[in-house]
Amino acid sequence: MQKPHPIVAREGYSFIVLGLIISAGVTWFLGIGWALPFWLVTLFIIQFFRDPRRVCPEGPDRVISPADGRIVAVEMTHDPYLDRKAIRVSVFMNVFNVHSNRSPVAGTVLQRWYFRGSFVNAALDKASEQNERNALHIRTAEGQDVTCVQIAGLIARRILCYVDMGSQMEPGERYGFIRFGSRVDVYLPPEAQVSITIGECVKGGQDELARLPH
């Protein structure tokens, strides 16, 4: 299923316009030699906010990666939001990854939590408990509970989430964004069958993380 997103995320429009204005201004007044670093920064901003279309695999039991990045954790642990035993799959996004966040499953948002926190390296395990974060409890039509958590990183300073309690979500649907390096944790039922391993690189809204129990 193809999601009709723009090529560049709307969250980056103001940054890109500002970068273009500054770069053009420096070019006009000082010349391209002085302006080259500003154009390079503007190109970096454009690539950071890119938001490519993705084809989401079908199947009610599939759990799709909510973000682009590298798998840094696959472990049985405690889901602190639903107070249950769960499998946690963590996706770390560096500054060169796409930073749009997408729903891992189809379902209804039953709860949303936001916590202020610190900004340690998002690749570290303690980031799941210490960093600024926004968590969603999603229940599928089959009654399976999935927790999806946006976590700010070392230099990330803004978590954006566009859904709330009662929202209906489709797999691969764009629901948020984290600026400048971050992490997304997905807590799954213990019976889920994980499809990936630590170190793999995944694409949000496209690659499968696991299969939910029937």
- What is the pLDDT, as a whole number, of residue 98? 85
Lowest mean pLDDT among 20-34, 74-88, 154-168: 154-168
Mean pLDDT of 134-154: 92
* Per-range mean pLDDT, top range of 47-51, 102-106, 118-122: 102-106
- Give the whole-angstrom CA distance, residue 179 versus residue 151: 11
Structural domain spans, the chain? 10-48, 62-211
**Cross-sheet strand order for the sheet of 193-194:** 62-64, 208-211, 193-194
- What is the pLDDT, as a whole number, of residue 164? 92
Mean predicted lDDT score pLDDT of the chain? 87
| Residue 48 backbone phi and psi in degrees, to 5 | -65, -40
- Annotated catalytic, 182? yes
- Nearest by Cα to 66 from 168, 163, 177: 177
Q: Across the strands, what pairs with 134?
A: 114, 150
Amino acid at 148: C
Cβ(165)–Cβ(111) below 8 Å: yes
How confident is the model over 26-73, as pLDDT tens digits? 999 998 999 999 999 999 888 888 888 888 888 889 999 999 999 999
* CATH number at 62-211: 2.70.70.10
175/126: higher pLDDT: 175
- Nearest by Cα to 23 from 14, 32, 15: 32
Q: Is the pTM of this model over 0.95?
A: no
- Percentages helix, strand, coil for the chain, rounded to the nearest 5? 20, 40, 40
* 211-67-169-119 Cα dihedral, nearest 10 degrees: 120
- Give the whole-angstrom CA distance, residue 150 versus residue 176: 9
- What is the pLDDT, as a whole number, of residue 115? 84
Amino acid at 41: V
In the numeric block, the tokens 């400048």 are attached to 180
* CA angle 148–152–153, rounded 5-degree value: 125
* CA angle 203–201–199, rounded 5-degree value: 150
Residue 89 has pLDDT above 70, yes or no: yes
Catalytic residue from among 65, 118, 182, 195: 182
Q: How confident is the model at residue 133 (pLDDT cuts 50, 70, 90)?
A: confident
